[in-house]
Structure 1
């Protein structure tokens, strides 16, 4: 795929690194671009134009009062995974913005958390060709027991840069 934007070009170069270095390089890069992700300790496992997988360790700095990953930290995971993915696909003359974040906490999360976000080819094509619009980015959050303790919907919009 042709580079949709500068971010896409950088991520494409990082993705050419050997497997052992790729995740660390993506994590360090996005930690500089979006400092809060670095502060929270988010790890980017993989990032391509159609999918993003990130994780967070259940460490003290992100825990709630019962020792699990804090609700807001889980939302940060979902927002980051979907945002990195949308940012990779929106051309440089448009700006992506989060429009809606809806979370339903259905059970207690256990241990580390992993988020997987995906975009369809149709969604990616809309981002490349439509001047403005929005998409619901499918996202799944799993805990260390591979259960899905939170149902999340993230809607991202894009508009022309001013």
Structure 2
């Protein structure tokens, strides 16, 4: 059974500017993500791709994309793909932790992707590690995050 978020994405993606509209809806639900102006470009059960434009508003003092802006992109990807993948009729999830690596200067638009291996058995009180990779416009990996999602059964 697809999550309501995944159903919404499937409806929006066929519309003109559908990915942009879906991304705006995500930011309305979680307003802090709007600070990075993300755009979800693909969403399916177990996989997400998203983009973030390089703008002065997300720069640090040396003119590159700020570390926390990269964390926001990673958290958005991990949260949305988890919501689209975890069977929402039997389980729920909440972010528990994040480990990040800043690999190179991020000085361009960024593209992120996250994948949850499927099929899988969902358990109660499980830590799900969602790896997120972020690449610059040349395809060079600039950032990696492992985001721990705590999965529990609904009672």
Cross-structure match for 1:11: 9
Q: RMSD over aligned Cα, in angstroms?
A: 1.9
For residues 108-144 of structure 1, the C-alpha deviation after alignment (integer angstroms, 9 at most, x for no partner) is 222111111111113xx334xx233122112211012
Counterpart of 1:139 (choices 132, 139, 150) is 132
For residues 36-68 of structure 1, the C-alpha deviation after alignment (integer angstroms, 9 at most, x for no partner) is 112321111111112111111111111111111
Cross-structure match for 2:99: 102
Cross-structure match for 1:63: 59
Which secondary structure state, in structure 2, belongs to the residue aligned with residue 149 of structure 1? strand
Aligned-partner Cα distance in 2 for 1:33–1:150: 25
Is 1:126 equivalent to 2:121 in the alignment?
yes
Cross-structure match for 2:144: 151
TM-score (norm 2): 0.87
Moved over 3 A (4+): none
Which segments of 5 or more consecutive residues in structure 2 lack a partner in the other structure? none
Counterpart of 2:111 (choices 87, 110, 114) is 114
Which segments of 5 or more consecutive residues in structure 1 lack a partner in the other structure? none
TM-score (norm 1): 0.84
